Structure formats: C-alpha cells, structure tokens
Amino acid sequence: MIEAKNVRVSLGGRQILYGIDFAARAGEVTAIVGPNGSGKSTFLKALSGDLRSTGEIVIAGRDLKIMKPWQAAGLRAVLPQQTVLSFPFTVREILRLGLLGGRSGVPVRDLETLPERALTKVDLAGFAGRYYQELSGGEQQRVQLARVLCQVWQPVVDGTSRFLFLDEPVSSLDVKHQLVIMEIARDYARRGGGVIAVLHDLNLTAMFADEVMMVHEGRVAAVGSPAAVLTDTTIERVFDCRLRVGRTPRSGVPFVLPQSVA
C-alpha cells in the first residue's frame, strides 16, 4: 500500500502540484493519466523521492522522508522515462545493477540466471551480450524494465508487497511490446505486488488499469475505475478536446479514438 496525502511540489518558484491525495493498493495496476504538463510525472518523481515535496508519502506503513535509499529500494523499483548511459555497459552489466541491493527475493543460486529470465520476460532473450548503447530506443527501454524487474523480482517478500513505479513504460514501444510490457505489469500485480504507471495511452489504461487517477493542472481531476474516470465530460474538461468515449461490445471496456473528435 502506498498512500500520499496533500503532496505539493514547487520547481523553480512555480508550483506544479497543488495537494495531491493518492492511494495505490497491492494487487492492482494504478494508472496516472493527464495531459502534457499536468504534473503526473512530477507526482511520480515525488513518490520516488527524487523531488522535494511537502505532505505525506507512506510506503508499506513507513514515511518515505525518513527512509534510507536502500530501505526504499527494497520496497519499490523505478523505471525512468529515459536513461542515457555515459559508459559502454553490456546489457548484462546493466541488469546486474538491478541486483545491487540484494533484495530481489530469489535464492542466491538463482541470481546468476536472473538477468536471462528478466530479458526473456521483456522479449529480449539473447541480448545479454549486446552493448546497451547500440540498442534502439524501444529495446533500451525494455532493458531498463528488465533491470527494474531484477531489483524487486518477487512481488512479495516477507509478507510485504513491493511496487513497480513505471514512468511512461510504453512510450517508445511498438504495439506488440506495449502489450508485452502491460502484461508484465498486470502479472506483477496479480502475484501480489503493486504497479503505479504514468500512461499516455488512454486505451491501454482502460485495458490494464484497475484504478485510474486523472491529473489536471497539478490537481486530481478524477479518480476511480477506468469506466468511471474515462467519460466524455471528464476527458473534454481535462484534455480540452471533445472526444466521445466508446465501449467495446462484449466487455464494455472504454476506448477513445481520435476519430471521434467532435
């Protein structure tokens, strides 16, 4: 369980977040959506401890502010939007960084093969020997996800659920790998972990999220199930764009097509 109360962030004298209340439960994929510049990535950075924020952030019952980096690292792993490397690491060497804190939750004898298993998961089997810098943007993003998975491989350790923080995890991926990555997120939640993902794609959000928080100009605009949040009126108000939300015939999952613009 991750809870945030009245989180405020100012950057360079400009207030970005005006008191966000937020909760993410283990066993669920929680999506944060909103227009560009709404503050959703800023909020995830505050949750990750990258930005100074006021208010309260509690992870697994403990205050983030008094947590040491290595304690937080055992409770959540963070996938950044983009990672630029300065030195020629191989993919395996990058994945090993995920094992740095030793809180993967797998027996020591399995640690050696964990990078391979993580790479297979993100559909990059056989890439361990490649240089990271030679990979395409989408492949690099999946390598980073594999590293993040290595860090908190077991969703639950000693009865404590762990979380994946994903900042636009599918932004540079083709459609197949968008689904692969979202399935990984859903699977992590099914096995007792928690996932918090900043997403741009409202359709993937509708498909995979259990809970959605929509952010608008630094404030929570709506929160609830995808069906409750993704409505004509909310989308028009928040995105300033008159779109009609459709429903898939059988399951009634909402979808938003740009073609529906009025």
Partner 1 sequence: MALVQNLPTTRFGRMRAAGDRSALGRLVIATLALVLVFVSLFSLTTGASDASVADLIRASFSEDAVISARDRVIIYEIRLPRIVLGILIGAALAVSGAVMQGLFRNPLADPGLVGVSAGAGLGAISIIVLGGTALGPVVALFGIYALPLAAFCGGLATTLLLYKVATRRGQTSVATMLLAGIALGALAGAFSGVLVYMANDNQLRDLTFWGLGSLAGATWAKIAAAGPIIVLALLAAPFLAKGLNALALGEAAANHLGVPVQRLKNTAIVAVAAAVGASVAVSGGIGFIGIVVPHLLRLSIGPDHRYLLPASALLGASLLLLADAVSRTIVAPAELPIGIVTAAVGAPFFLWILLRRRGVLDL
86 vs 136, which CB is nearer to partner 1?
86
Given a contact cutoff of 8 angstroms between Cβ atoms, the answer to whether 173 and 141 are in contact is yes
Q: Does 69 interact with partner 1 (rule: CB under 8 A)?
A: yes
88 vs 246, which CB is nearer to partner 1?
88
Dump the DSSP string for 14-31: EEEEEEEEEEE-TTSEEE
**72 membership: H or E segment, kind and range:** helix 69-73
Q: Does 97 interact with partner 1 (rule: CB under 8 A)?
A: yes
List beta partners, residue 29: 195
Phi, psi of 240 (to 5 degrees): 55, 50
Given a contact cutoff of 8 angstroms between Cβ atoms, the answer to whether 30 and 195 are in contact is yes
Q: Does 170 interact with partner 1 (rule: CB under 8 A)?
A: no
Instruction: Please list, in sequence order, all residues whose beta carbon lies within 8 angstroms of the beta carbon of residue 84, skipping any fewer than 6 positions away.
Output: none
Q: Does 112 interact with partner 1 (rule: CB under 8 A)?
A: yes
Q: Does 91 interact with partner 1 (rule: CB under 8 A)?
A: yes
Q: Does 257 interact with partner 1 (rule: CB under 8 A)?
A: no
Total residues contacting partner 1 by CB under 8 A comes to: 41
Nearest to 205 by CA among 31, 13, 16: 31
Q: Does 87 interact with partner 1 (rule: CB under 8 A)?
A: yes
88 vs 224, which CB is nearer to partner 1?
88
SS3 (DSSP) at 226: helix
Nearest to 2 by CA among 112, 146, 165, 186: 165
73 vs 215, which CB is nearer to partner 1?
73
Q: Does 103 interact with partner 1 (rule: CB under 8 A)?
A: yes
Q: Does 130 interact with partner 1 (rule: CB under 8 A)?
A: yes
Among 13, 61, 107, 129, binds partner 1 (CB under 8 A): 129
Residue ranges in contact with partner 1 by CB under 8 A: 45, 48-50, 68-74, 76-78, 80, 83-94, 97-98, 100-101, 103, 112, 116, 126, 128-131, 134, 151
